[in-house]
Amino acid sequence: MIKQIAAQGIGMLVSSFARALTGVLPNWRGCLPEARQRVYFANHASHGDFVLIWTVLPRALRRATRPVAAIDYWGGGVRGFIGREVFNAVLVDRSGATREPISVIMEAMQQGASLIIFPEGMPKGEFLPVPLLCSVTFGAPLAVQPGQDKDAFLSEAREALLALRPGRSAA
């Protein structure tokens, strides 16, 4: 119980600190935040990226949204406490030595969690290069269409992400 209260308090502090440091604001394009299962996928510049995404979600959605993170970075010590207890991260072994990452991710989804993922992976060696006065842009939800293959979906997702780049007008 004490550990849970401490984790919630730390989560609030991290969220407040991220907002104060970056001025991060959500930019919802083509969708609004709502209580339904989603996979948020994003580009990745630092280990602070998921914090900024998590921070701009409404509080009720934060509780159900879990970042997917590498256990070799987020699995031990203080980072382990923050990853597991504060953010309830889905920790995956990138090498697949202990368990296939996709099985860990699917288990979290079957439990109803929304996920924050970074398709291109985790940037080893990067700490926290975040710009001041930033925003997190959420685009319209994508779904795999009947008969659509993986390559076609990934191409659609890539185009959707590119359309959300700063300087592009909202669709």
Question: What is the domain extent for residue 47?
Answer: 1-25+36-124
Cβ 78 vs Cβ 85: under 8 Å: no
Cβ 15 vs Cβ 55: under 8 Å: yes
- Within-domain flag for 113: yes
- Residue 42 in this model has a pLDDT that exceeds 90: no
If pLDDT is split at 50, 70 and 90, which confidence band does 63 have?
A: confident
Beta strands in the chain (DSSP E): 25-28, 39-41, 65-70, 90-92, 114-117, 135-138
Q: For the chain, what is the domain count? A: 1
- Within-domain flag for 85: yes
- Within-domain flag for 167: no
- Within-domain flag for 150: no
- Within-domain flag for 78: yes
Task: Decide: helix, strand or coil at residue 27.
Answer: strand
For 125, the token pair is 């060696």
Cβ 100 vs Cβ 106: under 8 Å: no
- Within-domain flag for 43: yes
Structure-token match 């502090």, residue found: 13
- Within-domain flag for 152: no
CA distances to 95, 151, 153, 169 from 157, rounded to whole Å, are 26, 10, 6, 18
Q: What pLDDT was estimated at residue 97? A: 83
For the whole prediction, is pTM greater than 0.75?
Answer: yes
Q: Is the dihedral of CA 12, 73, 46, 102 positive or negative?
A: negative
- Mean of all residue pLDDT scores within the chain: 85
If pLDDT is split at 50, 70 and 90, which confidence band does 131 have?
A: low
6-17 residues labelled b (16+ CB within 10 A) or e (exposed): ebeeebeebbee
- Within-domain flag for 133: no
